[in-house]
């Protein structure tokens, strides 16, 4: 995937057929993180009241549902990907970037959890033997995150 253009409203990216398939497959994996993954506090995990924990889980479930609905709409958009010569192009609105990064992070971290939270994620052979699908989703989500973050930090073209 490569960035073609940046404006004050959106980025335009080009993808090969395979990259487009990978992006769609990765996004369709959302959500991955278990609902109880996020602790209320690092320091007070044993002192959290059941009411506070319930409130946190409800808020996260509501956010996850909103992300899922938004992602379904985003994926269903018939004009999301446009064929152009030997590749596909798509626009990512600047207003969608943080949301897209959150979705991809859920997918990446969720699959890292499925792999047992390995400290050394740079040993692909053992991770591939353990769970090839989880390794693929973790790595692909991370790759797309990096592409979008690089786009964010580049200067926009004048409109």
Domain that holds residue 141: 2-35+80-153
pLDDT on residue 51: 86
Domain-located, residue 103: yes
Q: What is the pLDDT of residues 10-30, one digit of tens each?
A: 999 999 999 999 999 999 999
CA 34 to chain centre: 15
Residues of the chain with pLDDT under 70: 38-46, 48, 155-159
Domain-located, residue 46: no
Domain-located, residue 62: no
Question: Alpha carbon of 68 to those of 17, 62, 75, 106, 140: distances in Å?
Answer: 24, 10, 10, 12, 19
Domain-located, residue 43: no
Task: Give the total number of structural domains in the chain.
Answer: 1
pLDDT on residue 80: 87
pLDDT on residue 50: 79
In angstroms, rounded to a whole number, what is the distance separating the alpha carbons of residues 141 and 103?
9
pLDDT on residue 3: 95
Domain-located, residue 28: yes
Domain-located, residue 61: no
Domain-located, residue 71: no
pLDDT on residue 54: 82
Percentage above 90 pLDDT, the chain: 67
């Amino acid at each position: 995937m490569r960035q073609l253009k940046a404006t004050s409203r959106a980025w335009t990216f080009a993808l090969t057929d395979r990259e487009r398939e990978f992006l769609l497959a990765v996004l369709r994996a959302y959500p991955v993180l278990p609902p109880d993954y996020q602790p209320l506090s690092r320091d007070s995990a044993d002192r959290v009241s059941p009411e506070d924990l319930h409130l946190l889980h409800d808020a996260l479930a509501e956010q996850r549902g909103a992300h899922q609905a938004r992602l379904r709409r985003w994926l269903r958009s018939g004009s999301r990907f446009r064929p152009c010569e030997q590749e596909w192009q798509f626009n990512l609105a600047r207003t969608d970037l943080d949301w897209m990064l959150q979705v991809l992070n859920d997918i990446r971290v969720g699959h890292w959890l499925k792999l047992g939270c390995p400290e050394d994620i740079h040993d692909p052979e053992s991770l591939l033997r353990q769970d090839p699908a989880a390794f693929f989703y973790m790595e692909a989500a991370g790759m797309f995150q990096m592409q979008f973050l690089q786009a964010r930090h580049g200067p926009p073209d004048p409109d």
